[in-house]
């Protein structure tokens, strides 16, 4: 009942994996990854959610049994890596990612129900299937996953809508292929509206307005220790400036410029022992017998 026919499920799976892999490859290119890193990030983004779902269900991941699932991310990585058009139009990847998000949130939930999971575990599995690949790729790229960031357009809510809609239809015994398709379209539309209107997840106003009760106050700033140097030592300020550029071949180069600026000396440092000795040898002669004779 909950399984789509192979003629529909297989191409939809490949299309969703390809769409997710495009976003992962685009992230790798923006991070200046090499061709191998781009392919790896595309594979992780496209297949990560499905691998997690199959491991939880205790079945053999289909990505290891069907070559098409592994080749779809490779094709997406090649398109993004060698095509300047794909890199200049990231919104196309965002739209395809929204479609894949709605698709996998529905199919992941339906697969959990087909394997005997309850509605709530199946909904959680559907959400994890939809956002898992992007989360894994962000961690590999040393970024906070978009599903956890408040300054990114809504990403978790469309997935929860798709998975929760399937769970609700299952509870009302109205889950069919047409109703599941409409739920996936609803999740896709919510994601597009979030991209267009920049809908964001709310943050805690209590934390930003005042310090909550029960939390220790922030530690006081510790004054920096000033080094004590001899007054006659010559001090210098060192200024380093580093700039990086990227050549047309994609290789980055760094240039470092170092300047040493002399520090103004104190009056005490200017009066050195040598200066005092030099002054002592040039005292005015005393008037006595060593004076010049006076002619009368």
User: Any idea what DSSP says for residue 178?
Assistant: H
Secondary structure, 3-state, 102-154: HHHHHHHHHHHHHCCCCHHHHHHHHHHHHHHHHHHHHHHCCCCCHHHCCCCEC
Q: Report which of 69, 72, 75 is spatially closest to residue 53, judged by C-alpha positions.
A: 69
Predicted TM-score (pTM) of the model is: 0.69
Contact 49, 21 (CB under 8 A): no
Tens of pLDDT, residue by residue, the chain (296 residues): 455 566 678 888 999 999 999 999 999 999 999 999 999 999 999 999 999 999 999 999 988 999 999 999 999 999 999 988 888 888 999 999 999 999 999 999 999 999 999 999 999 999 999 999 999 999 999 999 999 998 899 999 999 999 999 999 999 999 998 999 999 999 999 999 999 999 998 888 877 776 555 556 555 555 545 555 454 444 455 555 555 554 444 455 555 555 555 555 555 555 545 444 444 444 444 444 444 444 44
User: What pLDDT is stored for residue 33 in this prediction?
Assistant: 96
Question: What is the pLDDT at residue 282?
Answer: 46
């Amino acid at each position: 009942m909950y399984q789509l026919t192979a003629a529909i499920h297989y191409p939809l799976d490949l299309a969703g994996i390809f769409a997710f892999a495009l976003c992962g490859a685009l992230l790798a290119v923006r991070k200046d990854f090499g061709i191998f890193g781009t392919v790896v990030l595309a594979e992780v983004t496209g297949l990560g959610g499905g691998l997690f779902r199959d491991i939880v269900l205790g079945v053999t991941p289909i990505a290891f049994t069907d070559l098409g699932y592994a080749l779809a991310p490779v094709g997406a990585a090649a398109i993004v890596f060698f095509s300047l058009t794909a890199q200049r139009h990231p919104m196309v990847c965002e739209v395809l990612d929204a479609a894949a998000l709605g698709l996998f949130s529905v199919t992941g939930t339906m697969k959990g129900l087909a394997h005997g999971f309850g509605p709530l575990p199946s909904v959680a599995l559907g959400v994890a299937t939809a956002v898992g690949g992007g989360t894994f790729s962000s961690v590999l790229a040393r970024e906070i996953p978009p599903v956890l960031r408040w300054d990114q357009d809504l990403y978790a809510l469309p997935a929860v809508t798709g998975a929760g809609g399937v769970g609700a239809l299952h509870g009302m015994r109205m889950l069919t292929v047409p109703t599941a398709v409409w739920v996936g379209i609803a999740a896709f539309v919510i994601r597009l509206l979030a991209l267009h209107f920049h809908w964001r997840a709310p943050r805690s106003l209590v934390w930003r307005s005042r310090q909550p009760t029960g939390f220790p106050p922030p530690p006081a700033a510790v004054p920096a220790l000033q080094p004590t140097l001899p007054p006659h030592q010559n001090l210098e300020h060192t200024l380093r400036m580093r700039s990086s550029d990227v050549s047309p071949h994609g290789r980055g180069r760094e240039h470092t410029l170092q300047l040493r600026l002399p520090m103004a000396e104190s009056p005490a440092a200017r009066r050195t022992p040598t200066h005092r000795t030099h002054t002592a040898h040039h005292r005015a002669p005393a008037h006595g017998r060593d004076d010049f004779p006076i002619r009368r």
